[in-house]
Structure formats: C-alpha cells, structure tokens
Structure 1
Amino acid sequence: MSTAPSSHPDGEILTRRDGAVFVIGLNRPAKLNGFTPKMLKELAAAYTAFEADGEARVAVLYAEGPHFTAGLDLPKVAPLMGEKNLLAAPGQIDPCNNVPPFRSKPVVVAVQGITFTIGIELMLAADVVIAASDCRFSQLEVKRGIMATGGATIRMVERAGWGNAMRYLLTGDEFDVATALRLGFVQEVTEPGGQFAAAMRMAQRIAAQAPLAVAATLRNARLAVDHGPAAAVADFRPTQMALMQTEDVKEGVASFVERRTAAFTGR
C-alpha cells in the first residue's frame, strides 16, 4: 500500500495487482479523499480493468490516509449532477453496482475514519466490508438538499430494515462502527490501521476458492435480490449442472480425497 500523497490536485485512483488480488486505492488524502469528477471516472475505469483482468479473482478497495472519503467534492461535482454517466460510461463497470454490465467477481472494501455518502454506497455495493474501529459514517445528502443516488436508499433498507435505514437516511446523522456492524453494513472490525491487511487476508481467502463457483454464487444471490427467491431457485439446477462439468469440481473432489488444499484454475 502506497503512502505517497497524490501529486494531482483532483486526486487519483491507484491500481495494482497482488497475486490474484486487484488492489484499488483512493488517493487524495489532503482533501479527505473527496471525490472529484476525475476520480469518479478513474474509479469506473479501475473496476472495469479488474473485471477484464483474467488473473484477478477478487478486488480490494481501500483509501490512502486516515480517512476513507468525505464524499463527493460538491463544488467540483455539483455542476455534473444529474448527468446520466456520472459514475460510469456505457460499457464500464459501475462501482456502485446499480446498472449493467455488473461485475462478476467479488470486491472487499477496507474503510477507516470519515466514511461519508458515496463511501457508504461503495461499501454497500461491495461484498464484504472491513472497518476500522475509528470509522464515522454519515449518509448526509439531505443536509445538502440532495438525495443519495448511489444505492444507499436501496441497500440500507435491504440490510437494516425500513426504520433503521430511515433513521439515518432522513436525518443525515452520524453513526459509529458498532452501529454499522449491528445493522449489517460492515462484517468485521479491526483496530485503526489494521483494516487494509484484514481486507487483503479476506480477499486472499476468497481468491483461493473456485472462481467459477464464486462467480455463480454472486450471480445467484444477486438474482434473488433483484428478482426474488423463486428466480434464484430456478437457477440452482442449471448452474450446478454447468459447474459439475468444470475442471475445478474434479480438483475440489481430488483435494478432498487427498486431504490437501485445492489449486483451482477457473476452468
């Protein structure tokens, strides 16, 4: 993980690959990683590159500095609000996972310090969230006269239930990491500074599993959320039959019989 501050006043998105883990970093720490239009475009490009990288099985999204993000840099982004392709251009992967094409591989997010607005939406759009105990969360759009449009109005209700979600969506009040854990917004809490290493460990555990089975699991779960349990159930048998024809199933069975760690290839 780099510790060098961004040399660009509008920030930048860092990318690198660590084995099978595609690492994506927010890098504008002097401005609390406030998102500029440049950063939004680069983040969509990074997610799209991750999806296209045949060697990358899982991504980790993190932020440089003591804070994840203070949200959108409104003076820079406000003139563009309402534009159709603000978060992702046609054909790109939407980091908030709201419009197709949807990513097929998992994302783990590491958050710390101030994690406001789009920061919450990015973590709720991911699959697993590791949070430092010093996190401060707020979905504060109503305090600025706007509405959250990155998915918070959907996913906070899905995770926490109507009343618990509205308690924070309608007030913009801050909440702490204990509340985020209780409401299902984060899955693991670390000491400050430990969130990135914990996210990498989680990503490496996911990357060690059968990639086709991981992708199928994500796809089926999304099918259930978007179209209901019946649609997901109808997909069980055809998906399982397709997986049964893969080399990874043979490797999974062989590793079980031979009592060793499986070496999956995604074929």
Structure 2
Amino acid sequence: MTQSSEAPASDRRITVDRDGHVLLIGFNRADKRNAADFRLLQELSLAYAELENDPELRVGLVYAHGDHFTGGLDLADVGPRIGADGLDITADGGINPWRVSGVALSKPVVVAVQGTCLTLGIELILAADIAVAAESTRFGQIEVARGILPFGGATIRFPRAVGWGNAMRWMLTGDLFDAAEALRIGLVQEVVADGEQYDRGLELARRIAAQAPLAVQAALANARLAVRESDAAAEAALQPELVRLAASEDAAIGMRAFVSRQPAEFVGR
C-alpha cells in the first residue's frame, strides 16, 4: 500500500488500514497541519489499542496524510479540557500512544515524519521504536514558548535518547531544528529524500513483521524492562524468556528455515 499525498475522503481524524501484519495509522487532519485536537487524540489511542489487541497485527506504522506530520496540539480545542487532574486523552478502550499512563505497548511502532513535526510529534517518536524523517522536516519541542511543559514523555525520554545537553538545548529554548540535527542526536534513525519517508517506514515495518512476533515482542519487552526498571531486572528475565521462546512453534519454524535455508513463515505461537 502506498501513501497518497492527499488526505483520503474521510471524516476520521485518524485513518486505520492494514498491510498484512502491519497496522497503518495515519494522521488525517491535513487542512490543519495535522494539529491534534481532542478527537484526533482519542482516535489515535483507539488505533494503538487495535494494534495491541489484535493477534494478527505485529507492528504499527504511524504516518501523516498531507504535507506535515503534525503542528502539535490544537490548544484552542485541547486547552480548555485541562482540568484539576490534568488532561486525559485516552478513549474508553484505548491505549495512550505516548505511554505516560503506565500502560505499555507490547508491539513495535515505526514512525515516518515530514514537513512540520512539533511537540507531541517528537514525543510520539520518543515513545516509538524507529523513526524515519524526510530531509526537509522541521522539528520543535516548543511547549515552553506556550507557557506549558512537554507532558507526553519528552522530559523523561528526550534526555535518555539524545543526551542531556542535546535534549535541553532544544527543549528549553523551543527552537526549531532540522532533520540532519535530528539524525545527529539520534532522535531519528534515517533521513530520506522528501516523499520517501512513508515507503521507507513501511519497508522497515514489513521487515519487522516478517520476524518471529513472540521473539520481537520479547526482545522489545526486555529492552524496555532494562530502561524502566534496571539492568538487573532485565538480566533476571533473559533465561526464562529464552526457555519460553525455545519451546514455541516459531522457534521450530526458525530452526527448520535455518537448516533448509528457506524463508521462515512465522505463526506467532
């Protein structure tokens, strides 16, 4: 499936499509630079829940219709919803895509960005696993210029991902930076020619989806355990996870593929 440069004819803020085992999650408010109003945030949380809960889905690709990934929050719509307990953007049955609610996602997410990628867009990258950017993309963690702080995880993950000084340089000034800088500091993993970010993101997502899903999820979970808890906690889980995976049907499929030198067709069991 190839992304169109035009937003599809839909009144949905988030489009959801499938490409085999990949869930394609598209920002669909191109006329507003994909600024996130409350409805978009809730629809996005439901798309993440679909990815998590459907056993046939193995990886998500988050992208945007139109010229821009996102202009950030639609503060006119979202601002008045900030109450005494903050802002809850998760729909009933949804999963917070920024993973700041204590609920984890067990499946990997690839993000492909272009044009403008502000605030929650950067935080979505930080909460995901692999990011591809078009070479003309402009990034900005600009909340301090609006009188608020990043509340989608940037204060937690940005320093960890790119180093303290790099994170503070951009988070405390609100300055914009380009794709080359995003690649230099490690915010994104690849920069491609404009218009190629979706295809490259889908290529990576398909590559992940072709691997043994239980093994992919176990590797992801162990890495996150090390970050969230400790190296010791992750180390303690390694051998039990190895035993569990070695007894799976996919492990047998992988071994047969290795011996026969034929591609493996994993089943997720």
1:4 aligns with 2:7: yes
Q: State how far apart, in whole Å, the 1-side matches of 2:163 and 2:204 are.
A: 27
Shift of residue 91, structure 1, vs aligned partner = 5.2
Aligned to 1:72: 73
Aligned to 2:184: 182
Relative to the length of structure 2, the TM-score reads 0.95
Q: CA RMSD in A?
A: 1.4
Shift of residue 98, structure 1, vs aligned partner = 2.0
Summarize the alignment of residues 83-122 of structure 1 with structure 2, pairs less than 5 Å apart: 83-84=85-86, 86-89=88-91, 92-122=94-124
Give the number of equivalent residue pairs: 265
Q: State how far apart, in whole Å, the 2-side matches of 1:77 and 1:201 are.
A: 34
* Identical-residue share of aligned pairs (%): 51
Aligned to 1:19: 20
Deviations 1:183-239 (A, max 9, x none): 111001110110000000000000000000001011101100011111110110111
Secondary structure in 2 matching 1:77: helix
Q: State how far apart, in whole Å, the 2-side matches of 1:145 and 1:108 are.
A: 30
C-alpha spacing 1:100/1:143, structure 2 compared with 1 (3 Å): same
Aligned to 2:58: 57
Q: Report if the CA contact (8 A) 1:36-1:77 is conserved.
A: yes
Counterpart code for 1:25? G
Aligned to 2:175: 173
Aligned to 2:243: 241
Deviations 1:76-114 (A, max 9, x none): 110112555623246531100222331111110000010
Q: Which moved more, 1:33-42 or 1:47-56?
A: 47-56
4+ residue stretches of structure 1 with deviation over 4 A?
5-8, 82-85
Q: State how far apart, in whole Å, the 2-side matches of 1:66 and 1:37 are.
A: 21
Deviations 1:91-143 (A, max 9, x none): 53110022233111111000001000001001111100010001100000000
Counterpart code for 2:125? M
Counterpart code for 2:243? M
Shift of residue 6, structure 1, vs aligned partner = 5.8
Shift of residue 159, structure 1, vs aligned partner = 1.1
C-alpha spacing 1:85/1:240, structure 2 compared with 1 (3 Å): farther
Q: State how far apart, in whole Å, the 2-side matches of 1:178 and 1:67 are.
A: 17
Q: State how far apart, in whole Å, the 2-side matches of 1:160 and 1:149 are.
A: 18
Summarize the alignment of residues 175-214 of structure 1 with structure 2, pairs less than 5 Å apart: 175-214=177-216
Secondary structure in 2 matching 1:23: strand
Q: Report if the CA contact (8 A) 1:91-1:101 is conserved.
A: no
Q: Report if the CA contact (8 A) 2:138-2:178 is conserved.
A: yes
Where in structure 1 are there 5+ consecutive unaligned residues? none
Q: Report if the CA contact (8 A) 1:6-1:29 is conserved.
A: no
Aligned to 1:40: 41
Deviations 1:120-175 (A, max 9, x none): 00111110001000110000000000000001111110011111111111100111
Q: State how far apart, in whole Å, the 1-side matches of 2:144 and 2:7 are.
A: 34
Q: Report if the CA contact (8 A) 1:47-1:95 is conserved.
A: yes
